[in-house]
A and B are shown apart, each in its own frame.
Chain A
């Protein structure tokens, strides 16, 4: 299956969950995904065998949401697919994708520690491991 077909199927299957599909330059694809359907998209991408999970970027843009970008490398193309999931600060929860993409294990724990986003269904949610005796209760990368 080539990426073109995957893209078509992705658009067909998750048309209602995607918004703002844009391409800044010919090598990047950015799209927003609804947080409830994100794990289905991730499972689809993992199953397609044409995408490699790179990492996830969480950031606090001082709004009501924490932005979490999931980056996928698409094989045989120079493209990077970035999926944006918005997590409300009032209830920071996301489904864990570690079971389908084991490479996400560490970055999910890292985001938990640094941003306080809980990943539900993570197989071994390590507790906050900044230096021992890290006393501050606010996750260090949060800006509020």
Chain B
């Protein structure tokens, strides 16, 4: 018997959403449909009405989880378009912000995977440590989630010298989080059972769909914009890239834990290497033409293509979020998995609908007609079976009555 299930309310961040629909056959996933579009806000169209200076403020609000990567990619595109030089200190501050954001986003990943595996305490513990990162953002930049530091040609706010020792101390106090996650990964038998050989993505699938970010690196494809197309202060700091071959949820977790360590290290190096100096160059206007900006967001490569016509506004803003590259593969990789693992697989794919839906509109028929109670679904599927049987027998009566119901 086939049945259709909505994963409504499953993901703590997307409660009330009707984003993932599973079709289940004999407790195995027969199909997974990702239905985006409910968060579609027409941002790309809206962006054409903003000036270059206003643009980062809008783009930050595409997604609360990667609120720095979006403007980071946009300012990269703008700087490529206009050939704007960026002061060194600004590059360090940008790197620092991006890496702090990566840490909090990866912590969230651990939290949601834990939550979906029935490990409520992990969810709470990661939030406890995530709060420290938010605190740093709030103290240094004024907002907990949306620091608004990026602007073409530099950063909006400098880091005051007095806060640097405090930041270093905060980062030291963050260390227990990594030890905790290390303990969960290595020491927890059941966490291993829940995640090892679950949701495996082969290298072939990763290459086929052009997947990016930790998901690709967990399957043996070493793509990372920070290494491939170095930007900001990444060439000046020392860090490593982790690649795993397994492609399962556990490998994803290992990659993310490793990246958090590296990010923390990068932030420390940035704080140490930063020299005082100007943090922005003034920007009068941008010439016409196309600029491409890529950054490594926590979930993978974030791609911006900005086109200007020499005025104060862009004429086209094209955004390719990492989630929209990674989610299509999920529809393929989840098929055949046990229903028990569905929630973990979906959480591990790190769906960021805010990002993915800024533009992509996917879907079939009217979704609201399909939100049915379970009983209704079962009844419908019975009806459909009857109808099909009747059709095979050459009678159309069943079909007519089913439609009337």
Contact = CB atoms under 8 A, between A and B. Distances in A.
Interface of A: 24-25, 27-28, 30, 49, 52-55, 57-61, 69, 71, 73, 75-78, 80, 82, 101-103, 105-107, 109-110, 113, 126, 129-132, 140-141
Given A59-B315, A113-B361, A132 B320 contact: no
B150 interface: no
B208 interface: yes
Nearest to A106: B360
Contact of B44 (A78, A105, A141): A141
A110 B359 contact: yes
B80 A25 contact: yes
A80 B294 contact: yes
B362 A103 contact: no
A54 B320 contact: yes
B328 interface: yes
B230 interface: yes
Interface string B340-372: 000000000000000000011111101010000
Contacts, number: 91
Contacts of A59: 307, 315-316, 318
A78 B194 CA distance: 37
Given A103-B325, A113-B361, A141-B45, 12 more contacts: A27-B229, A52-B210, A55-B303, A59-B316, A71-B303, A77-B228, A106-B324, A106-B360, A110-B361, A129-B363, A131-B40, A132-B368
Contacts of B359: 110
B87 interface: no
A126 B363 contact: yes
A25 B289 CA distance: 13
B207 A49 contact: yes
28 contacts: A24-B80, A25-B80, A52-B210, A53-B210, A54-B301, A55-B318, A57-B305, A57-B307, A60-B316, A69-B305, A71-B303, A71-B305, A73-B223, A76-B228, A82-B290, A102-B328, A103-B208, A103-B210, A106-B328, A126-B362, A126-B364, A129-B361, A130-B40, A131-B40, A132-B366, A140-B42, A140-B45, A141-B45
A53 B301 CA distance: 12
A43 B223 CA distance: 21
A130 B361 contact: yes
Q: Is the interface of B mostly helix, strand, loop or mixed?
A: mixed
Interface string B205-240: 001111000000000000100001110000000000
Given A28-B292, A101-B210, A141-B45, A57 B362 contact: no
Interface string B49-87: 000000000000000000000000000000010000000
A81 to B, nearest CB: 11
Interface residues of B, number: 37
A82 B361 contact: no
Nearest to A133: B366
Contacts of A132: 366, 368
Nearest to B81: A24
B37 interface: yes
Output the residue of B315, B361, B362 with the most chain A CB within 10 A: B361
B362 A73 contact: no
A64 to B, nearest CB: 16
Most chain A CB inside 10 Å of its own CB: which residue of B37, B223, B316, B328: B316
B320 A78 contact: no
A80 B292 contact: yes
A60 B208 CA distance: 30
B233 to A, nearest CB: 16
B228 A78 contact: yes
Contacts of B316: 57, 59-60
Contacts of A52: 207, 210, 223
Interface string B241-278: 00000000000000000000000000000000000000
Contacts of B320: 54-55, 107
Interface string B297-336: 0000101010100000001101010001100100000000
Contacts of A102: 208-209, 328
Nearest to B327: A106
